[in-house]
Amino acid sequence: MDFKLQTGIFTEEQNFKPLKTDIVYDVLILGGGPAGFTAAVYCMRKGVSTGLIVKEIGGQVAETAGIENYMGYRYINGMDLAMKFKEQVAQFGIDYDEKGTVKAIETGDVKKVRLTDGRVFSARALIIATGAAWRKLGVPGEDELRGKGVANCSTCDAPFYVNKKVVVVGGGNSGIEAAIDLAKVGEKVTMVQFLDRLTGDKSLEDKLHEFKNVQVRYEHEVTGINGSQSVESVTVKNRKTGKTEDVSAQGIFVEIGLVPNSEFAKGVLKLNQAGEIMVDCASRTSAPGIFAAGDVTDVPFKQIIIAAGEGAKAALSACNYILMGE
Amino acid sequence: MALFDEKIRQQLRDILKNMKDAVNLSFFTQEFECWPCTDVHEFVKELASLTDTIKLSVFDFQKDKARADKFRVDKIPAIVLNGKDNAYAGIKYYGLPGGYEINSFIQDMIELSGRKEPLPAAIASRIAAISKKVHLQVYVTLTCPFCPGAVAVAHRLAQESAMVEADMIDVSLFPYLGQRYQVTSVPMTIINETHSLVGVQPMENILDVIKKL
Ligand SMILES: Cc1cc2nc3c(=O)[nH]c(=O)nc-3n(C[C@H](O)[C@H](O)[C@H](O)COP(=O)(O)OP(=O)(O)OC[C@H]3O[C@@H](n4cnc5c(N)ncnc54)[C@H](O)[C@@H]3O)c2cc1C
Helices first, then strands: H and E counts in chain B: 8, 8
Ligand 1 centroid–CA A241 distance in Å is 37
B56 touching A (Cβ < 8 Å): no
pLDDT category, A79, cuts 50, 70, 90?
Answer: confident
Protein residue with least CA distance to atom 38, ligand 1: A130
A78 contacts B145? CB cut-off 8 A: yes
Residues of B in contact with A158 (CB under 8 A): 143
Q: What is the pLDDT of residue B1?
A: 65
Residues of A in contact with B182 (CB under 8 A): 148, 229-230
pLDDT, one tens digit per residue, over A231-274 is: 999 999 999 999 999 999 999 999 998 899 999 999 999 999 99
Tell me, yes or no, whether B1 lies in a domain: no
Tell me, yes or no, whether A289 lies in a domain: yes
Tell me, yes or no, whether B153 lies in a domain: yes
pLDDT over 70 for what percent of chain A? 98
Alpha-carbon gap, residue A79 to A95, rounded angstroms: 22
**Would you say residue A64 has pLDDT above 90?**
no
**Would you say residue A86 has pLDDT above 80?**
yes
My answer on whether A15 and A82 are in the same domain is yes
Residues of B in contact with A6 (CB under 8 A): 103
CA of B70, closest CA in chain A: separation in Å? 30
**Nearest residue in chain B measured CA to CA from A3:** B99
Q: What is the pLDDT of residue B24?
A: 98
Contact between A39 and A29 (Cβ < 8 Å):
yes
The best mutation among A60, A70, A74, A176 to test binding of ligand 1, ranked by most ligand atoms within 8 Å of the C-beta, falls on: A60
A56 contacts B99? CB cut-off 8 A: no
pTM metric for this prediction: 0.79
Q: What is the pLDDT of residue A3?
A: 87
- Residue A69 Cβ contacting ligand 1 at under 6 Å: yes
Among candidate residues A312, A241, A321, A252, the one with its CA nearest the CA of residue A45: A312
**Nearest residue in chain B measured CA to CA from A99:** B202
What are A104-110's contacts with CB under 8 Å, separation 24+? A104/A264, A105/A30, A105/A264, A105/A265, A105/A268, A105/A290, A106/A268, A107/A268, A107/A287, A107/A288, A107/A289, A107/A290, A109/A289, A110/A24
A230 contacts B182? CB cut-off 8 A: yes
Query: ∠B174-B176-B182 over CA atoms, to 5°?
Result: 105
Q: Partners of A244 in the beta sheet? A: A237
Tell me, yes or no, whether A300 lies in a domain: yes
pLDDT mean by block of 10 residues, chain B; 213 residues: 89 92 96 87 96 96 95 96 96 95 94 87 92 97 89 95 97 93 93 92 90 91
For residues A12-31, give the mean pLDDT.
Answer: 88
**Would you say residue A322 has pLDDT above 90?**
yes
Is the ipTM higher than 0.90? The answer is: no
Q: What is the pLDDT of residue A14?
A: 58
Alpha-carbon gap, residue B188 to B197, rounded angstroms: 6
**Would you say residue A11 has pLDDT above 70?**
no
* Domain-terminating residue out of A254, A270, A288: A254
My answer on whether B57 and B15 are in the same domain is yes
My answer on whether B23 and B108 are in the same domain is yes
**Nearest residue in chain B measured CA to CA from A148:** B184
Beta strand B164-170 pairing with B91-94: parallel
- Residue A307 Cβ contacting ligand 1 at under 6 Å: yes
C-alpha torsion angle, residues B69, B74, B79, B83 (rounded to 10):
-40
* Domain-terminating residue out of A217, A239, A254: A254
My answer on whether A263 and A248 are in the same domain is no
Q: What is the CATH number of the domain that holds B19?
A: 3.40.30.10
A1 touching B (Cβ < 8 Å): yes
My answer on whether A119 and A236 are in the same domain is no
Alpha-carbon gap, residue A223 to A225, rounded angstroms: 7
My answer on whether B107 and B127 are in the same domain is no
The best mutation among A42, A130, A155, A156 to test binding of ligand 1, ranked by most ligand atoms within 8 Å of the C-beta, falls on: A130
Alpha-carbon gap, residue B70 to B159, rounded angstroms: 17
| Residues of B (141-180) whose Cβ lies below 8 Å from A | 141-147, 149, 153, 171-172, 178
My answer on whether A297 and A157 are in the same domain is no
My answer on whether A123 and A270 are in the same domain is yes
Alpha-carbon gap, residue A193 to B12, rounded angstroms: 45
**Would you say residue A2 has pLDDT above 80?**
yes
Which of A101, A118, A150 is facing B122, going by the closest CB pair? A118
Q: What is the pLDDT of residue B199?
A: 87
Question: Structurally, how many domains does chain B consist of?
Answer: 2
Q: What is the CATH number of the domain that holds A168?
A: 3.50.50.60
Which of B15, B172, B199 is facing A10, going by the closest CB pair? B15
Question: Structurally, how many domains does chain A consist of?
Answer: 2
My answer on whether A243 and A277 are in the same domain is no
* Domain-terminating residue out of B112, B139, B170: B112
Burial of B168 (0-12, 13-18, 19+ CB in 10 A): buried
Contacts of A13 (CB under 8 A, 6+ apart): A90, B18
Alpha-carbon gap, residue A283 to A299, rounded angstroms: 9
My answer on whether A22 and A77 are in the same domain is yes
Domain of B45, in residue numbers: 6-112
- Residues of A serving a catalytic function are 153, 156-157
Domain of A48, in residue numbers: 3-133+258-324
- Residue A174 Cβ contacting ligand 1 at under 6 Å: yes
Alpha-carbon gap, residue A128 to A125, rounded angstroms: 10
Tell me, yes or no, whether A145 lies in a domain: no
- Range with the poorest average pLDDT among A12-21, A197-206, B178-187: A12-21
Residues of A in contact with B4 (CB under 8 A): 3
pLDDT category, A57, cuts 50, 70, 90?
Answer: confident
- Range with the poorest average pLDDT among A2-6, A155-159, A225-229: A2-6
pLDDT category, A7, cuts 50, 70, 90?
Answer: confident
My answer on whether B73 and B170 are in the same domain is no
Ordered alpha helix ranges (H), B49-77: 65-70
Contact between A182 and A164 (Cβ < 8 Å):
no
My answer on whether A89 and A155 are in the same domain is no
Residues of A in contact with B186 (CB under 8 A): 156-157
Protein residue with least CA distance to atom 30, ligand 1: A131
Which is the closest atom of ligand 1 to the Cα of A115? 42
Residue B200: CB atoms within 10 Å: 21
My answer on whether B134 and B155 are in the same domain is yes
- In whole angstroms, how far apart are CA B166 and each of B23, B79, B157, B200? 17, 12, 8, 15
My answer on whether B108 and B157 are in the same domain is no
Q: Partners of B136 in the beta sheet? A: B166, B191
- Residue A31 Cβ contacting ligand 1 at under 6 Å: yes
A18 contacts B117? CB cut-off 8 A: yes
* Domain-terminating residue out of A254, A280, A302: A254
Q: What is the pLDDT of residue A267?
A: 96
Q: Is A97 helix (H, G, I), strand (E, B) or coil?
A: strand
Angle between helices B6-16 and B101-112 (to 10 degrees): 30
